[in-house]
């Protein structure tokens, strides 16, 4: 009964006065992929697909995409079925998580790197209409050399 | 560990799948300024807001929006941003406070709390004030599922106590002081700015590396912010020229060998404005992500214009406030109009042939010293002359215009004798036709002498059949018609010079139709019987014995 009431309350909230944003169909197709990285002591060992979303819209590039901007980058490559490279991106190793914080005075701060056993990377990029599947290869870069973490096959609806 | 996490794990084990499908939540427009593809979209999602807290979430989210829009230089560029709220619904209000951070004071400054929240946020990530979540994957997935065109994410946590953190995603509690953490993090995630504070780095050796707002370079001619330098001593000691842009020791976590542009900046201390160099970078980023030409007209960028016509070109700017966006117009590379969103192209002033009209929009703000992105809209314009003096085609008594929207004339008459592209000629004369040529230009045809004496037996464009009995005739001629459209008709008899000798006006409503026409005064000779309404005509040669 409680669940039903909550459901009704939720449904009622959906018809409230707040506006819903118009997500204009631009004709451009894009994919958002969240990858879960697991490992030990901040060292990635494995990569798996956490979620994927295919959508119509433009993905803007906010940050430059080079390995040099990260101290311990993870390199992710996306290939078509034909083997053609579609997209690649360098990301900070998500198992070495930078957490920055400040005291309310705005002066005293902390910028710590936490070693985690799992972390996530989020990658979005435009894809062509005819791409129906992709192969994803994740690499960790150690001492300038890339070591393969995992290979994942992704179907695209 | 939260109850929800256990359930999720059990579900995963049971169904044997690893891919997470984030829940769909209500998406609110907090502030909309334009097409998400041409705006910077800031998504604000809440954690620790129950179904009963949705109004509170919107209120809190708007607090973040208002804070953002009151912070220079973002305050001048509100039209460049959309603010979208994702109403993430949690089972319980608030957030976790385990009370186990090593810097917790006794007594605790806030009560220990456990809340079942969707995004699993908590205080005490290493330090008490650090609010974050271990499940960043879920946060990304919620954003991707609900508003994938986002450019930045801020998670607001339903707690009145100060806390927050930065990284890939900014977390802020609802203590307004925490909003500054979000603004600092935007410096990183949006503008690629670096921290300007010192923080125990072990890698502070000399070098010449440079980033946007931190540098090891002491040669000012090579400094990335050299254009901002004025009279400050180099290096610049705090307390002497603190309001000048200079080369202040200590930046990028290092007390030495790294420099920053100004004593104080939001990238060093919160509650400070962004320094000029950082503000410039933010403006640069805004300008690089949003096309200043938001819309344009005409939409067709390849045009043909007659040399007697004018064409209005317009662009719709994304405006700053106060507006510093300007549009310069060029024709064939030559500036024609500045600081106007419209330009009228008068084709008579240009030669026949191809021309290029360009609207170039740019931000003229004085707050930057480096080149900003300019946006060009280009139209290729072909100026053509009208296709005059083309001969129309004669097919029996049908005169076929080379134009559209034709008007037929007989030389000497100012009133057109027909307004169709195919004229059924009913009198001899010198004809010409005007209309729109294949380029859409108003044109006039060649003049052709046309006899129009062979006659035709059907009314153009209809299935009517008309018989004249007898022909040749004496005093009376009978007109038998079938299939005539009910209409008012002019029935006239003309001589070979086109002069009207007999004329009747009548409304024909019956089908078949019969009319006995008495023509007693006509001399022997050749005449034309014309039956005509507003959109068709019939012409038949008749002979008086």
| Cα–Cα distances in angstroms (integers) from residue A6 to residues A12, A48, B90, B129, in the given order | 10, 35, 12, 33
The CATH number of the domain where A82 resides is what?
Answer: 2.60.40.4070
How close does chain A come to B228, measured CA to CA in Å? Answer: 24
- Identify whether the C-beta of residue B406 lies closer than 8 Å to the C-beta of residue B435: yes
Q: What percent of chain B has pLDDT over 70?
A: 91
Query: Between chains, do A100 and B167 touch, taking CB under 8 Å as contact?
Result: yes
In a domain, A7, yes or no: no
What residues of B are in contact with residue A110 (Cβ under 8 Å)?
126-127, 130, 199
Q: Give yes or no for A49 touching B (CB within 8 A).
A: yes
| Cα–Cα distances in angstroms (integers) from residue B5 to residues A97, B16, B51, B141, in the given order | 21, 16, 20, 16
* Separation between Cα atoms, residue B234 and residue B249, nearest integer Å: 10
Question: Chain B residue with minimal CA distance to A122?
Answer: B140
Q: Looking at domain B465-544, does it have CATH number 1.10.10.10?
A: no
Of B22, B32, B37, the CB nearest to A51: B22
Question: Chain A residue with minimal CA distance to B12?
Answer: A50
Burial status of residue B138 (CB atoms within 10 A of its CB: 0-12, 13-18, 19 or more): buried
Question: Chain A residue with minimal CA distance to B59?
Answer: A18
Query: What pLDDT, on the 0 to 100 scale, is given for residue B369?
Result: 96
Q: Stretch B84-90: mean pLDDT, rounded?
A: 98
The beta strands (E) that lie in B364-427 are given as 375-384, 393-395, 398-400, 404-410, 422-424
Query: What pLDDT, on the 0 to 100 scale, is given for residue B467?
Result: 81
N residues, chain B: 545
What the block records as the tokens of B417 is 């004798």
- Identify whether the C-beta of residue B294 lies closer than 8 Å to the C-beta of residue B377: no
Of B140, B148, B175, the CB nearest to A57: B148
Of A19, A36, A102, the CB nearest to B28: A19
In a domain, A124, yes or no: yes
Query: What pLDDT, on the 0 to 100 scale, is given for residue A21?
Result: 43
Highest mean pLDDT among B2-16, B160-174, B311-325, B459-473: B311-325
How close does chain B come to A76, measured CA to CA in Å? Answer: 16
How close does chain A come to B420, measured CA to CA in Å? Answer: 42
Of B89, B141, B175, the CB nearest to A34: B141
* Mean pLDDT for all residues in chain B: 88
Parse chain B into domains and list their residue ranges: 3-189, 193-275, 293-384, 393-450, 465-544
Query: What pLDDT, on the 0 to 100 scale, is given for residue B425?
Result: 85
Q: Return the closest-CA partner of residue B439 out of B403, B393, B401, B405.
A: B403
pLDDT tens-digit map of A107-121: 888 887 777 889 999
Q: Give yes or no for A28 touching B (CB within 8 A).
A: yes
Query: What pLDDT, on the 0 to 100 scale, is given for residue B517?
Result: 85
How close does chain A come to B49, measured CA to CA in Å? Answer: 13
- Identify whether the C-beta of residue B492 lies closer than 8 Å to the C-beta of residue B500: yes
Please report which confidence band the pLDDT of residue B19 belongs to, taking 50, 70 and 90 as the band edges: low
Query: Between chains, do A106 and B180 touch, taking CB under 8 Å as contact?
Result: yes
What is the C-alpha R_g of chain B? 41
Query: What pLDDT, on the 0 to 100 scale, is given for residue B251?
Result: 95
Residues spanned by the domain of A38: 28-155
Domain count, chain A: 1
In a domain, A90, yes or no: yes
In a domain, A11, yes or no: no
How close does chain A come to B310, measured CA to CA in Å? Answer: 32
Which CATH fold topology does B293-384 show?
A: Immunoglobulin-like (2.60.40)
Shared fold status for B293-384 and B465-544? yes
Of B28, B37, B152, the CB nearest to A58: B37
What residues of A are in contact with residue B192 (Cβ under 8 Å)?
62-64
Query: Between chains, do B84 and A110 touch, taking CB under 8 Å as contact?
Result: no
pLDDT tens-digit map of A63-111: 776 666 677 789 999 999 999 999 999 988 999 888 888 888 888 888 8
The pTM score is 0.77
pLDDT tens-digit map of B142-182: 999 999 999 999 999 999 999 998 877 889 999 988 999 99
In a domain, A18, yes or no: no
Average the pLDDT over each of B280-289, B444-453, B474-483 and give the range with the smallest value: B444-453
In a domain, A48, yes or no: yes
Please report which confidence band the pLDDT of residue B498 belongs to, taking 50, 70 and 90 as the band edges: low
User: What strand order describes the sheet that includes B500-508?
Assistant: B500-508, B487-494, B525-532, B537-544
Q: Looking at domain B3-189, does it have CATH number 3.40.390.10?
A: yes
């Amino acid at each position: 009964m409680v669940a039903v009431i909550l459901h009704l309350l939720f449904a009622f909230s959906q018809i409230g006065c707040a506006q819903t944003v118009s997500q204009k169909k631009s004709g451009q197709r894009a994919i958002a992929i969240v990858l879960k990285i697991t490992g030990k002591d901040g060292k990635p060992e494995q990569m798996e697909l956490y979620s994927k979303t295919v959508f119509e819209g433009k993905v803007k590039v906010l940050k430059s995409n080079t390995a040099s901007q990260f101290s311990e980058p993870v390199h992710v490559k996306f290939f078509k079925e034909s083997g053609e490279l579609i997209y690649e991106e360098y990301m900070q190793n998500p198992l070495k998580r930078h957490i920055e914080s400040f005291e309310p005075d705005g002066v005293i701060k902390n910028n710590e790197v936490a070693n985690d056993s799992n972390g996530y990377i989020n990658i979005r990029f435009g894809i062509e209409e005819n791409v129906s599947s992709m192969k994803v290869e994740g690499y960790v870069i150690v001492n300038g050399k890339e070591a393969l973490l995992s290979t994942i096959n992704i179907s695209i609806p | 560990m939260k109850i929800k996490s256990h359930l999720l794990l059990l579900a995963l084990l049971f169904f044997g799948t690893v891919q997470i499908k984030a829940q769909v939540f209500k998406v609110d427009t907090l502030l909309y300024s334009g097409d998400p593809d041409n705006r910077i979209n800031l998504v604000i999602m809440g954690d620790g807001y129950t179904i009963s807290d949705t109004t509170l979430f919107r209120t809190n989210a708007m607090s973040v929006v208002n804070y953002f829009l009151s912070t220079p230089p973002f305050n001048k560029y509100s039209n460049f941003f959309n603010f979208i709220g994702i109403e993430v619904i949690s089972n319980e209000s608030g957030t976790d406070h385990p009370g186990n951070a090593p810097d917790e004071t006794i007594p605790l400054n806030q009560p220990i709390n456990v809340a079942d929240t969707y995004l699993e946020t908590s205080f005490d990530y290493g330090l008490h004030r650090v609010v974050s979540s271990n499940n960043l994957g879920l946060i990304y997935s919620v954003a991707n599922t609900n508003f994938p065109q986002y450019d930045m994410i801020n998670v607001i946590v339903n707690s009145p106590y100060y806390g927050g953190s930065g990284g890939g995603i900014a977390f802020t509690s609802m203590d307004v002081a925490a909003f500054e953490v979000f603004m600092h993090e935007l410096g990183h995630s949006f503008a690629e700015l670096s921290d300007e504070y010192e923080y125990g780095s072990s890698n502070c050796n000399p070098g010449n590396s440079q980033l946007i707002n931190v540098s090891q370079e002491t040669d000012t001619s090579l400094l990335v912010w050299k254009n901002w330098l004025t009279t400050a001593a180099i290096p610049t000691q705090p307390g002497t020229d603190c309001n000048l842009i200079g080369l202040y020791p200590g930046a990028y976590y290092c007390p030495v060998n790294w420099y920053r542009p100004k004593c104080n900046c939001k990238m060093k201390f919160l509650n400070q404005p962004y320094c000029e160099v950082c503000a410039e970078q933010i403006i640069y980023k805004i300008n690089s992500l949003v096309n200043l030409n938001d819309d344009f007209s005409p939409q067709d960028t390849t045009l043909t214009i007659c040399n007697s016509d004018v064409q209005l070109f317009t662009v719709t700017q994304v405006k700053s406030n106060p507006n510093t966006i300007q549009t310069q117009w060029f024709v064939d590379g030559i500036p024609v109009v500045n600081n106007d969103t419209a330009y009228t192209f008068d084709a008579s002033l240009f030669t026949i042939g191809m021309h290029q009209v360009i609207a170039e929009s740019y931000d003229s703000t004085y707050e930057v010293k480096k080149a900003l992105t300019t946006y060009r809209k280009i139209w290729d314009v072909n100026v053509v002359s009208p296709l005059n003096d083309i001969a129309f085609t004669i097919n029996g008594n049908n005169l076929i215009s080379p134009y559209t929207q034709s008007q037929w004339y007989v030389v000497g008459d100012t009133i057109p004798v027909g307004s169709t592209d195919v004229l059924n000629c009913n009198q001899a004369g010198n004809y010409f036709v005007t209309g729109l040529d294949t380029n859409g230009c108003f044109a006039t045809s060649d003049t052709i002498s046309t006899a129009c004496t062979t006659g035709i037996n059907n009314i153009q464009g209809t299935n009517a059949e008309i018989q004249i009995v007898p022909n040749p005739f004496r005093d009376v001629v009978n007109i038998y018609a079938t299939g005539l459209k009910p209409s008012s008709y002019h029935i006239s008899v003309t001589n070979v010079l086109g002069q009207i000798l007999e004329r009747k006006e009548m409304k024909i409503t019956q089908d078949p139709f019969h009319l006995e026409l008495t023509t007693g005064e006509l001399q022997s000779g050749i005449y034309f019987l014309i039956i005509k309404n507003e959109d068709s005509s019939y012409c038949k040669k008749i002979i008086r014995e």
